[in-house]
Chain A
Amino acid sequence: MTEQEQITTDLHPLHLTVNGKDVDSVLDSRISLADFLRHELRLTGTHLGCEQGSCGACTVIVDGVAVRSCLMFAVQLNGSTVETVESLCVDGQLSRLQQAFHEEHALQCGFCTSGFLMSLTAHLREHQVTNDQEAREALSGNICRCTGYAGMVKALLAVGDGESTTQ
């Protein structure tokens, strides 16, 4: 393309479920899932760090599995079910995992936290976390640059017993 790149759009209809609610939209194909969540749905709990899949800040759960929302286009999600960090707290009550993060000082600035919570929420649905090594492996797909991981390891071990992580 030339320097005078023509700004143009490629619109596609989209129907999906986000945090239990039906969403209908018509969207430009190059909008990432992360930008769709943040800008169209104003679900700004999902954060965008690197936009190349390295940092994990934008992690959400799509059709039951944790994915990077910066590495999917929203138009790919027709018919899908998406869960974001906003779904974890129900009626003002933090999930067990969120509560454990709070108690173990597992966050400081909070930028990376929503991505960690979604990665770990998906992980805890399928796996128990019973030791330090398992906890660190579960954390390894996300990056924190301020608090460090010690508090998160403790938080994860506190809820890694296989019990439900919702309340």
Chain B
Amino acid sequence: MKPRYFEYHQPTSIDDVLELLSEYGDEAKILAGGQSLIPMLNFRIASPAHLIDINGVAGLDQLNLTPEGVQIGATARQRTVENAPEIALSYPLVRRALVQVAHPQIRNRGTFCGSVAHADASAELPSVVLALGAQIIARSSRGERTIPAKDFFEFHLVTALSADELVVEIQLPPLAAGSNGTYVEIARRAGDFALAGVAAQAVIDEGGTVQSLRMACSGVGPVPQLLEEAAQLAIGSDLSDELLLEIDNIVRTTIDPPDDVHASANYRRVVTGTVVRRALKQLRDESGSNHD
């Protein structure tokens, strides 16, 4: 279908964006990459009276890597982040997740921040920012605030953002030396929304012992979910095959996924346990200690 009528705004400064947001609030939507929003407009699931296109705001597309971490601006394309050599080197989790987000044609337009702000329960990037402990920088004409990823997601497509707030940037924290991460998902076809996926970020020392681990999974509830119990079990261990099976079991029993047309709740439990096991096995094997 075609979208309903809307009024299109093309501000060129953040201040102008914030002014429009404070004027129109709930009646407005921010248009960044548009790869989630425009399908919703075409389906008429969403029909905002005002679209505020932020692509013309200079400087919002930055991708900065510093010793203090990474700053990803509101209009930085997923493809830009994915192709940045420093991201591939320092944040393998981010790159491994991004290449599983839809298809290159979508990632050429879609933005990193937009996917997080959209907060689809089965999307990859919300789990990634949660596993990394990223911070979402939101600005309104009232001021700026920093929202930790763990407080950002409230429900499927619902976040802690107020109607007048714009995500200007997402900050990924610096990672400890030797930290490695991966994203493993199972989807019916490559590029589809995943039935279940997990973002895992770990430090495994030279002896093969897990020093730290954070895992967050997608597709098993209305918000991305930290798998704390399973992570506790892994920390201090060498991730033996037996332990991986135990963790798989713990994951299955600690999550409460929905039934829907794509998969039953029980199948999702099994699939989530499986992706966690595969992710941890990959991190273990990449750490150089082999347990075959």
Whether A141 lies near B39 (C-beta < 8 A) is no
Among B1, B10, B47, the residue within 8 A (CB) of A1 is B47
**Which residues of A33-82 have CB atoms within 8 Å of chain B's CB atoms?**
35, 51-53, 56, 59, 65-68, 70-73, 75-76
Whether B42 lies near A7 (C-beta < 8 A) is no
Docked complex Cα distance between A35 and B38 (Å) = 14
Whether A52 lies near B7 (C-beta < 8 A) is no
Residue B290 at the chain A interface, CB threshold 8 Å? no
Most chain A CB within 10 A, of B1, B7, B39, B191, is at: B39
Specify which chain B residues have a CB less than 8 angstroms from the CB of A35 in the assembled complex.
2
Q: A51-B42, A53-B39, A72-B38 are in contact. Are A141 and B105 (CB under 8 A)?
A: yes
Specify which chain A residues have a CB less than 8 angstroms from the CB of B190 in the assembled complex.
140
Closest approach, in angstroms, between the C-beta of B224 and any C-beta of chain A?
Answer: 22
Specify which chain B residues have a CB less than 8 angstroms from the CB of A51 in the assembled complex.
1-2, 39, 42
Specify which chain B residues have a CB less than 8 angstroms from the CB of A9 in the assembled complex.
5
Number of interface residues of A (CB under 8 A): 31
Query: How many B residues touch the partner, as a band?
Result: 20 to 34
**Which residues of A97-151 have CB atoms within 8 Å of chain B's CB atoms?**
119, 123, 140-141
Whether A1 lies near B4 (C-beta < 8 A) is yes
Docked complex Cα distance between A65 and B102 (Å) = 16
Residue B8 at the chain A interface, CB threshold 8 Å? yes
Residue of B nearest to A54 (CB): B39
Q: A52-B39, A53-B39, A140-B191 are in contact. Are A68 and B5 (CB under 8 A)?
A: no
Closest approach, in angstroms, between the C-beta of B42 and any C-beta of chain A?
Answer: 5
Residue A91 at the chain B interface, CB threshold 8 Å? no
Whether B35 lies near A53 (C-beta < 8 A) is yes
Residue A6 at the chain B interface, CB threshold 8 Å? yes
Residue A29 at the chain B interface, CB threshold 8 Å? yes
List 10 A–B pairs whose Cβ atoms lie within 8 Å, in order of A's numbering.
A1-B47, A12-B8, A12-B10, A53-B102, A66-B104, A67-B109, A71-B34, A71-B109, A76-B53, A140-B190
Give residues in B with beta carbon < 8 Å to A.
Answer: 1-8, 10, 31, 34-35, 38-39, 42-43, 47, 51, 53, 55, 79, 102-106, 108-109, 190-191
Since A10-B6, A51-B42, A76-B55 are in contact, a sample of 18 more A-B pairs with Cβ atoms closer than 8 Å, ordered by chain A residue number, is A5-B4, A7-B5, A12-B8, A30-B6, A52-B42, A52-B43, A53-B106, A56-B105, A65-B79, A68-B105, A68-B106, A68-B109, A71-B106, A73-B34, A73-B38, A140-B190, A141-B103, A141-B105
